[in-house]
Amino acid sequence: MPDVIVHKARELYGTASAEINEVILDMERFKQNFHEQVHESQRLLKLTKGLHHKLLIARKNVKEHSINQRFRKEQEISEAAAVARSSIQRRARQYRAISSQPSQKILGSNGHTSTMKSEAKEEKGEISEATPAVYSPSTSRLPVSAKRRKLPNVGDSVHVPSLNKQALVLKVDPSREELLVQAGNMKLKLKLTDVLA
């Protein structure tokens, strides 16, 4: 075989061998990069799964916290309403008790006054029966203001012994000798004998 052919064949073989070796090296590098990328993808996928699991746990915790907060708020509102209701009922009972006491005192005082009046009338009748012929000119000449207590005017302040309070005169009925007075938040109709000027 001629030397030229052998030399040319060697050159072609060397060139092809170098190209083949370069292709093999490229494939090895590609394979290595591929494995690295697969490994990185697996790591990222694992990290994503972990983050997703943590996100689910966080969402569950937020939901439970929201439910607990709502329940606690409803419980606090219910307790506050119960306390307010109890306070209102207690104040209402106290107000009713305070309101009923003066009326009872006034009724008792009026009963006592009427009893005293009837006793005084009986005593006066007994005295007049015992001394029918006695005549006192000095008594007949007494002025009306001495025989009868002077009626206060509207706007005057009088003392109510049954309440142990000062009261303001709102209305005067001279024919019945009755007064409409206001003591604090209460308006009372009293006889002239039930007050002190």
pLDDT over 60 (residue 122): no
100 compared with 128, residue with greater pLDDT: 100
Mean pLDDT along residues 89-104? 75
pLDDT over 60 (residue 119): no
**DSSP string covering 97-120:** HHHHHHHHHHHHHHHHHHHHHHHH
The verdict on 184 and 110 lying in the same domain is no
d(CA 40, CA 42) in angstroms, rounded, equals 5
Average pLDDT, the chain: 76
The verdict on 126 and 35 lying in the same domain is yes
The verdict on 155 and 125 lying in the same domain is no
Q: Which of 16-20, 74-78, 147-151, 167-171 has the lowest mean pLDDT?
A: 147-151
pLDDT over 80 (residue 135): no
Most confident of 31-35, 112-116, 146-150: 31-35
The verdict on 13 and 71 lying in the same domain is yes
Q: What is the pTM of this model?
A: 0.34
**Domain range for residue 177?**
143-197
Q: Establish how many alpha carbons lie within 13 A of residue 172's alpha carbon, considering only the half-sphere containing its beta carbon.
A: 14
| Both tokens assigned to 50 | 């972990």
Q: What is the pLDDT of residue 108?
A: 52
| Both tokens assigned to 100 | 């009923």
The verdict on 169 and 74 lying in the same domain is no
The verdict on 106 and 147 lying in the same domain is no
Tally of domains within the chain: 2
Convert the pLDDT of each residue in 37-83 to its tens digit. Answer: 999 999 999 999 999 999 999 999 999 999 999 999 998 998 888 88
Q: What is the pLDDT of residue 118?
A: 55
Amino acid (one-letter) located at 72 = R
Q: What is the pLDDT of residue 174?
A: 87
How many beta carbons lie within 10 A of that of residue 138, not counting itself?
6
Out of 111, 134, 157, pick the residue that ends a domain: 134
Q: Which H or E run contains 138?
A: helix 137-140
pLDDT over 60 (residue 106): no
